[in-house]
Structure 1
């Protein structure tokens, strides 16, 4: 691949990852209940971490480092899914129902 394109692809991937981290944080702060907050946080953070990892993979010259980064991402995916599942289950068992927006009155 062209040596001028690779750093740009890496930078774009990392900036997109940072954007998704920011979007997940905004979702965590803005959404009304626990269920929507963890949904926004897990989706955006997993994608953000994946894009940052891809950006780092494009900068490395060793296949061993690429495999280590891929393993880190897979372990983070598993940990995030497990933690959010446990949090949602605890919230449901503690009888905090999801907030459903009130439907508008029929005219």
Structure 2
């Protein structure tokens, strides 16, 4: 269960990062509210998952899911460039996290 909560919390990290961008410096009420709720739920889920998962592995997975999700959101929803190098380095992040999970 902790792994599922951790992955969901990582997805929420993507949500809050995207909402923070859309809030334009916390000046737009709806994206700011989405940011606030998502960051609280994301941190709460991370906190719950770290009750049973090792700190280093749990935090790395949470950050990686949020990082990769946010980068993909930027590329596919915001029109940021999609390059071979970006895809390669995102795949390296995923590979590193899978390695950490297997080492757990």
Q: What is the TM-score with the length of structure 2 in the denominator?
A: 0.42
- Which has the larger helix fraction? 2
Structure with the greater alpha carbon radius of gyration: 1
